[in-house]
């Protein structure tokens, strides 16, 4: 199988792995970046769009508030302190190059587009200290640290180990994943890693089933929830992830593997994306949602 190039830059020392990560830079403050930034360390959250950063801070505050309500049921003042301290550890910036000057770990979570990601990493590589690890949260393109949505709830972290990932870098990523509360699994740098290699064909087949008119969207989702025990049906999940992200992944794989029938473009998905119906984040995808 063709391997995508690994972008994770290697950490030079193999010792003192965990203490090596003091400052984390998360690039991209959308759905995923805002969740990753909440992981509980000194984080600088970067986005080119400053409105996104304001929205991210609000959503992080709300999520931390939910956690505080549960932990500090009897002591709301302590809960407020917890939220304020956690928010205080998250800085924001709209300048990726300036933000990585003294970073130990970069987790990139920008748009799922190979050229845009490469361009960003080139700039970051020149600006970051030489010991810094560069990892990507890409769903499908190359190695790194793959989180799941919603990040505060989903317990898995896929640590993607490419052919050139050093033992030190790999060990540091595993330790860091554990330190931020995730269960880590390791996968080679193969398209979609473990979860998405199985999940993408499943979601795509569900969209095709619906497109053919074999069952209604609601019935497809009910079937998989009640018949297979999934928390969300495949079309609900596609809306939750974002139909643009679904399309980016599928288009990228189709370009690379045109002979693979499972990766062929889906006219209905393309139509919804071209109409700006990207799922929960725009208020409509396979379903309609109330705007938050």
Ligand X SMILES: CCCCCCC[C@H](O)CC(=O)SCCNC(=O)CCNC(=O)[C@H](O)C(C)(C)COP(=O)([O-])OP(=O)([O-])OC[C@H]1O[C@@H](n2cnc3c(N)ncnc32)[C@H](O)[C@@H]1OP(=O)([O-])[O-]
* Contact call for residue 145 and ligand X (CB under 6 A): no
* Contact call for residue 96 and ligand NAD (CB under 6 A): yes
Identity of the residue, 157 or 250, whose beta carbon is nearer to ligand X in the bound complex: 250
* Contact by Cβ (8 Å): 173, 46: no
Give the residue, chosen from 149, 166, 270, 282, that forms a contact with ligand NAD under the rule CB under 6 A: 149
Chain residue whose CB lies nearest ligand NAD: 30
Backbone angles phi, psi at 221, to 5 degrees: -70, -45
Q: Which of residues 228-287 bind ligand X (CB under 6 A)?
A: 231-232, 237, 241, 245-246, 249-250
Compute and round to an integer the Cα radius of gyration of the chain. Answer: 19
- How many whole angstroms separate alpha carbon 112 and alpha carbon 128? 22
- How many whole angstroms separate alpha carbon 109 and alpha carbon 112? 8
- How many whole angstroms separate alpha carbon 16 and alpha carbon 178? 15
* Contact call for residue 282 and ligand NAD (CB under 6 A): no
Whether the ω angle into residue 143 lies within 30 degrees of 0, i.e. cis, is no
Identity of the residue, 61 or 150, whose beta carbon is nearer to ligand NAD in the bound complex: 150
Phi/psi region, residue 159 (left: phi>0; alpha: psi -120 to 50; beta: rest), is beta
- How many whole angstroms separate alpha carbon 209 and alpha carbon 106? 39
Residue where the block lists tokens 């996968």: 187
* Smallest separation, CB 76 to ligand X (Å): 17
Give the residue, chosen from 11, 121, 142, 148, that forms a contact with ligand X under the rule CB under 6 A: 148
Residues that bind ligand X (CB under 6 A): 63, 66, 70, 139, 148-150, 152-154, 195-196, 199-200, 203-204, 231-232, 237, 241, 245-246, 249-250
Residues that bind ligand NAD (CB under 6 A): 27-33, 46-49, 52, 96, 109-112, 116, 120, 137-139, 147-149, 241-242, 245
Q: What is the set of active-site residues?
A: 139, 146, 158, 196
């Amino acid at each position: 199988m063709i391997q995508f190039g690994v972008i994770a830059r290697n950490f030079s020392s193999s010792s003192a792995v965990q203490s090596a990560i003091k400052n984390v830079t998360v690039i991209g403050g959308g759905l995923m970046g805002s969740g990753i930034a909440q992981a509980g360390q000194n984080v600088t959250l970067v986005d080119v769009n400053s409105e996104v950063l304001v929205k991210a801070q609000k959503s992080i505050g709300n999520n931390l508030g939910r956690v505080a309500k549960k932990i500090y049921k009897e002591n709301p003042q302590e809960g407020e302190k917890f939220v304020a301290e956690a928010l205080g550890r998250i800085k924001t910036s709209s300048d990726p190059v300036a933000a990585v000057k003294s970073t130990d770990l970069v987790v990139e979570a920008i748009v799922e587009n190979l050229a845009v990601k490469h361009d960003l990493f080139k700039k970051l590589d020149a600006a970051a200290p030489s010991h810094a690890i560069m990892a990507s949260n890409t769903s499908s393109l190359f190695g790194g640290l793959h989180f799941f949505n919603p990040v505060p709830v989903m317990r898995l972290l896929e640590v993607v180990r490419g052919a050139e990932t050093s033992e030190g870098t790999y060990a540091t990523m595993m330790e860091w994943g554990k330190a931020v509360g995730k269960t880590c699994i390791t996968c080679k740098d193969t398209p979609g890693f473990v979860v998405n290699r199985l999940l993408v064909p499943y979601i795509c087949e569900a969209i095709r089933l619906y497109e053919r008119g074999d069952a209604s969207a609601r019935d497809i989702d009910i079937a998989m929830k009640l018949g297979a025990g999934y928390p969300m049906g495949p079309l609900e999940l596609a809306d939750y992830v974002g139909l643009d992200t679904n399309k980016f992944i599928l288009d990228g794989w189709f370009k690379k593997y045109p002979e693979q029938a499972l990766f062929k473009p889906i006219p209905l998905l393309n139509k919804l994306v071209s109409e700006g119906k990207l799922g929960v984040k725009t208020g409509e995808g396979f379903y309609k949602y109330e705007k938050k």
